[in-house]
Chain A
C-alpha cells in the first residue's frame, strides 16, 4: 500500500502548496531578488530612479579596509560564540542526562532564553556587563580599568559574544539533551560493563552517536551568529568602539539606513548570503563525513 498521501489530480497537490509557496516567494525570493537588482545599480538615497553600474558596488566594498575588518569581526564572533554556546550546552546536557529527576523543568527553563528577543536580552546584558555599575564593576574595583566595553574593542566583542552565547546555550541544550536521551540506556550500561568510565563512555559512545545533532547545531549556530546578532550589537555596542563590533549584518544596516547607501548595503547583503552559503557547503563537504547517522 502507498504510505504517502496521494492526490488523484496533480492540481489538488499544487493548491495545497500554494499558500506556502506564496509566503516563501513574498518574503524570501522577491526581497532577495530585489537585493540582487539593487546591488547591481546605484540607488538614489531618497528614491526615484537608479543607474545600472554592474559590479561596481562589489568592487568598491571589497576594496574597503573597513569592510574586511567587518568580515574578520564577524568570523571571530561566529567562531567563538558558536564554540562557546555549543560546548557549554553539551556539557550541561551531558550532566543533565545522567540525573533526570525534574528534567522537564530544565527543558522549559532552558528554552526560554531562546524565546527572548535579541534587543531585550542585549539590554539586560548591557546592564549586567556595565563597567561602572553591573556585575563587572566588582572586578573593576579590584583591577581598575580591566573591563570597559565602551573603550576596549576586545571587551566589547566579549560582551556581544557572551550575550549571544547565552541565548543559544538553551537552544542547543534542548537538542543535545534530546540526542543523549535517544541513545539506548543499555549501550551506556554495556560500555560500563566493558570497563569504560564516565568520561571514556562520553567520548567513545555518546559523542559519536550524537554527531548528527552536533552537525545540525553547528550549521544552525554559525548561520544564526551571522544573522541573529544584529539586535545584540545594536543595543549593546552599536558597532563600536572604533568598529570593533561592526559585524557584517550590522554594517549592512548602518551603511544602508544610516548612511543611506542602499546599493552598497544591498551588495553587502549579497556577499553575506554567499558567505553563509559557502560556509554551509564547507561544513557539509568536510564535517558531515565524520557524522555517524544511525
Chain B
C-alpha cells in the first residue's frame, strides 16, 4: 500500500509535449481510473509512474519517496499491459513466477506462491500451458497473476481489458474490482472506456490533450462536469450541447432561433455560453405543451430496457433517453421539457464550467419557451 504524489509532471518528446504539467494525489489503497480519449497522455503518465518512460519535468513520489531516477524494479509497481505481454517461451507457471525467480526466491516457495495465485485466478489447470494455447481471458488472468504474485505496493493497468470481447470485459471488470478489495493495493487504471472507468473507479481522473480536466468520484464527474470536454466525454449517449447567448430574460439558443426562459443566471447579458443537458434529464411531452421545445424525430434506438430517441432541433442533433415505452414516428414532432437544475453551463471561450443560479431555486421550475 502506498500513496502516489504527482507534482508538475511534464513529458516532452523531441518536438512535441504530450503531458503539460499534471498534479495529482492518489491515496493509499485507492482505485484511481484515468480516463481520456486516445492520445491524451494517460498511458504516458502511467508509464512515467511505472518507470518505463522518463519524466521530463516535475516529480513523482511513491510513499513520499521521489522515484524519478529509480529503475522500474525499485519502485514496487506491477503492471498489466494492454496486450498482456506474456513471455511466449515460458509456461503459465513460469510467467507468473518470473519475478520471484529474478528475486531469487527458492523454488519450493516459488511453486507454493504460484499455486496460491493460480487458485485465486482459477488458472490451476493451465499452469503447464504456453500463452499461445490460452484464450484471451485466460491470458488476461495470467497477466494479472504475474502482477499479483509480487504483492506490489502499486498496481498499474494499461487498458488491460480492451482486447477482450464485451462479455468477458464485464466479467474481468468485476474480477479486478474484487481483487482490489482483497489486496487493497493502490491501483491506477488507464482506459478510454467510460463504462469501465465509472464502474471501477473510487476516483476518476479525466484527461484531455495532456492536461487533467477533472478529478472526482464517478458520481461527481457525471453530475458536475468541470468542463465542456468532460461533459460530452463522460456519459453515453453524450450530453446534448446547445450554443447560446445570455439575454435579459433568459437565453437565446441556436442562433436566436429558440428562446429559453430561465431564472437569473448571474452571467452578463450577451455572454456566449454552451448549455448542456443530459439525454436522460429530458422529458418528451406532446408537441405544443406550454414551455416545451419542439423538435422533429430522426431515429429511435431500441435498447430493451430503454430507448434513445434522436431528434433534430433546428439542425442541432439532440438525444433523449427514456425508459417509457414510446415509439414516436420518425419525422413527427415532439416536445422536449427539462428542469432548470439539470442544465449545465459552460463558457463558449474556455469550455470551463460556469456557476449559475447561485441563489439556487429549491423547486426547479420547468424551463419555458
Chain A residues within CB distance 8 Å of chain B: 184, 186-187, 189-197, 200, 204-205, 208-209, 292, 294
Contacts and interface: CB of A to CB of B under 8 A. Distances in A.
11 contacts: A186-B83, A189-B79, A191-B87, A194-B98, A195-B103, A196-B73, A196-B102, A204-B87, A204-B102, A209-B88, A294-B88
B81 A186 contact: yes
Contacts of B72: 189, 192-193
Interface of B: 50-52, 71-73, 77-79, 81-83, 85-89, 98-99, 102-103, 132, 146, 150
A189 B81 contact: yes
Given A186-B83, A193-B73, 13 more contacts: A191-B87, A191-B98, A192-B73, A193-B99, A194-B102, A195-B73, A195-B99, A195-B103, A197-B71, A205-B87, A208-B89, A209-B88, A209-B89
A259 to B, nearest CB: 52
A204 B87 CA distance: 9
Nearest to A196: B102
**Top-9 shortest CB links A-B:** A186-B85, A194-B99, A195-B73, A190-B85, A292-B89, A208-B89, A192-B72, A195-B102, A186-B81
Nearest to A188: B85
Determine which residue in A187, A191, A195, A196 has the highest number of CB atoms from chain B within 10 A of its CB, and name it. A195
A202 to B, nearest CB: 13
A204 B356 CA distance: 61
B89 A190 contact: no
Given A194-B99, A194-B146, A189 B89 contact: no
A184 B98 CA distance: 18
Determine which residue in B71, B73, B103, B132 has the highest number of CB atoms from chain A within 10 A of its CB, and name it. B73
B85 A200 contact: no
Contacts of A189: 50, 52, 72, 79, 81, 85
B207 to A, nearest CB: 21
A190 B81 contact: yes
Nearest to B143: A190
Contacts of B79: 189-190, 193
A204 B98 contact: yes
A186 to B, nearest CB: 4
A292 B73 contact: no
Contacts of A200: 102
B108 to A, nearest CB: 20
A204 B94 CA distance: 11
B364 to A, nearest CB: 51
A122 B56 CA distance: 50
B88 A193 contact: no
Contacts of B51: 192
A190 B47 CA distance: 11
A158 B108 CA distance: 49
Contacts of B88: 187, 209, 292, 294
Contacts of B83: 184, 186
B36 to A, nearest CB: 20
B102 A193 contact: no
A175 to B, nearest CB: 19
Contacts of A196: 73, 98-99, 102
B73 A187 contact: no
A10 B87 CA distance: 45
